[in-house]
A and B are shown apart, each in its own frame.
Chain A
Amino acid sequence: MRALYGAVQEEGIPDKLLDLLDRLDEVERQAKSAKDE
């Protein structure tokens, strides 16, 4: 069970998920800076 699960974990995170996080983070930063101005 752990080998099955661990094999997926070791594949790394797909770029599309990392890009999504970056985009969400960027949108949040922009919203905050707009609010502060």
Chain B
Amino acid sequence: MAVPTTTAATARSEPPSFKRELLATLPSLRAFAVSLSGRHDKADDLVQDTVMKAWAKQESFELGTNIKAWLFTILRNEFYSQMRKRGREVQDTDGAFTERMAVHPSQYGIVDLNDFRKALDKLPDDQREAVILIGASGFSYEEAAEICHCAIGTMKSRVSRARTKLQELLQVAGQSDYGPDAVSAQVTTIPHLS
């Protein structure tokens, strides 16, 4: 008689579980937390609180529906709740976020990213979260509006104002200016000859 073993095939055929769906969303949820709080240590505490709240409320979540939007909503509510309790703190005072960004090996536009992070921090909270949800987290305007408890038109307006403000702060004319400078671009685009 064959002994059942865990294989990739059986793993794939496993029914969806709350834990598995939560686990799959954690990287994105954590990135959102870092974007909001500006610090990795605070972001991880925030994600931890969110996981515990979500776990306690899992009966109210229907498996197969949009767990990402549900978790982002919980995290966002938790973030603003904690901010109200503690008062607004200065973000990234020790440069924890930008320091980590600077050592990331896959980024060649290091200065651009640091500048971008600083510009992002200068946006009002509602505009910052709007541009993060739409521009990075991959949510639709409808989903982002639901997460932020606002109308779709309001969300579109916030994103538009955020983009305009970012362009002003970074003094760029368009998306192409967010990439590497001319010298870096040559290095990264011209194939090496052996």
Contacts and interface: CB of A to CB of B under 8 A. Distances in A.
B55 A24 contact: yes
* Chain B interface size, under 10 / 10 to 19 / 20 to 34 / 35 or more: 20 to 34
B27 A4 contact: no
30 contacts: A1-B131, A2-B136, A3-B107, A3-B109, A4-B35, A4-B101, A4-B117, A4-B120, A5-B137, A7-B100, A7-B106, A7-B107, A7-B113, A8-B27, A9-B28, A9-B30, A9-B31, A10-B27, A10-B106, A11-B30, A12-B27, A16-B44, A16-B48, A17-B26, A20-B51, A20-B52, A21-B19, A21-B23, A21-B51, A25-B19
A13 interface: yes
Interface residues of A, number: 20
B137 A7 contact: no
A13 B27 contact: yes
Interface SS majority for chain A? helix
B135 interface: yes
Interface in B109-143: 109, 113, 116-117, 120, 131-132, 135-137
Contacts of B55: 24
A24 B132 contact: no
Contacts of A14: 44
Contacts of B117: 4
A8 B113 contact: no
